[in-house]
């Protein structure tokens, strides 16, 4: 195992509800973490020191460059403006959702039944996109963490086309305090999008596997 596999540098894009929670829990889990918002690092410094102590504020492009794993925790409508060239060969965790009642109709994400993370992958074609963290509320990212073996440990779906990327992200999910349920196709992540039974429900691993078709579970 190399250093990237044991302690990857995590870049969280977005310092709002989801981004700040993910920055906190990944710092607590011992990862080196950078964080960015649409404002620059000077504007983020104070709030980061209070709300995400230990996370390093950076410009978005610098955070991406510094990260082995880049987490998307930005509003969906801001995604199309991200420059795909910055993400070459990065492992990208997509925690975003397309939920028209909340986000409004977004043409970029309207593509005949394709999952939103599949569209993210098409835009970031040279990255390895993994879908997870999207199907729990931001406050639950901290509150629902449990140690390995706890009977109530919450399951999180982890789906992507690149097996190594899925395994690395699953190890992060596990170290934070959730049970990863891995899927070897990004398409399978449709099963934990808004409107699906696994979305927003606190499920243990057996409960998750019961709801999401077993044929796609690895
Ligand atoms: N809220 C939830 O419970 C929840 C749960 C699961 C998934 N999600 C998904 O998570 C994403 C974020 O939701 P949220 O509730 O955390 O939103 P939020 O509180 O509005 O925070 C969004 C953050 O993204 C930053 N941002 C915008 N454009 C950026 C860019 N180009 N680069 C870096 N940062 C950028 C914003 O910075 P500025 O303030 O400087 O603009 C802000 O810090 C959404 O896609 C949502 O669907 C949300």
Look at residue 13 and tell me whether its pLDDT is greater than 60: yes
At 118-148, the pLDDT tens digits run 999 999 999 999 999 999 999 999 999 999 9
Residue 217: what pLDDT? 47
Residue 2: what pLDDT? 65
Kindly compute the dihedral angle of the four CA atoms of residues 92, 202, 189, 196, in this order, to the nearest 10 degrees: -140
Range of the domain at 79: 3-216
Residue 214 binned pLDDT confidence (cut-offs 50, 70, 90):
low
Tokens of 31: 């990862």
Q: Is 106 in the pocket of ligand 1 (CB under 6 A)?
A: no
C-alpha–C-alpha distance, residues 141 and 133, integer Å: 8
Q: Which atom of ligand 1 is nearest to the CA of 18?
A: 16
Residue 216: what pLDDT? 47
Q: How far is the CA of 96 from the centre of ligand 1 (A)?
A: 8
At 152-188, the pLDDT tens digits run 999 999 999 999 999 999 999 999 999 999 999 999 9
Q: Comparing C-alpha atoms, which of 39, 209, 23, 154 is closest to residue 10?
A: 23
Look at residue 37 and tell me whether its pLDDT is greater than 70: yes
Q: Is 18 in the pocket of ligand 1 (CB under 6 A)?
A: yes
CATH code of the domain containing 142: 3.40.50.720
Beta pairing class for 33-36 and 91-94: unpaired
Residue 102 binned pLDDT confidence (cut-offs 50, 70, 90):
confident
Q: Structural domain tally of the chain?
A: 1
Residue 213: what pLDDT? 67
Cβ atoms of residues 151 and 204 within 8 Å: yes
């Amino acid at each position: 195992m190399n250093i990237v596999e044991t302690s990857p540098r995590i870049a969280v894009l977005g310092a709002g509800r989801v981004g700040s929670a993910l920055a906190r829990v990944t710092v607590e889990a011992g990862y080196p973490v950078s964080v960015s918002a649409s404002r620059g690092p000077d504007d983020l410094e104070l709030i980061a020191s209070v709300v995400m102590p230990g996370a390093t504020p950076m410009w978005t492009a610098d955070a991406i460059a510094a990260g082995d794993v880049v987490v998307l925790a930005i509003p969906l409508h801001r995604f199309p403006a991200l420059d795909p060239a910055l993400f070459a060969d990065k492992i990208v965790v997509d925690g975003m959702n397309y939920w028209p009642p909340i986000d409004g109709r977004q043409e970029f994400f309207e593509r005949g039944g394709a999952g939103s993370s599949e569209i993210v992958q098409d835009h970031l074609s040279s990255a390895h996109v993994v879908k997870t963290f999207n199907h729990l509320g931001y406050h639950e990212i901290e509150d629902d963490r449990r140690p390995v073996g706890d009977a109530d440990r919450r399951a999180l779906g982890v789906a992507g086309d690149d097996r190594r990327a899925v395994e690395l992200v699953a190890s992060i999910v596990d170290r934070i305090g959730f049970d990863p349920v891995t899927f070897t196709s990004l398409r399978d992540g449709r099963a934990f999008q808004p409107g699906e039974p696994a979305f927003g429900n606190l499920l243990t691993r057996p409960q998750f596997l019961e709801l999401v078709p077993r044929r796609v579970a690895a």
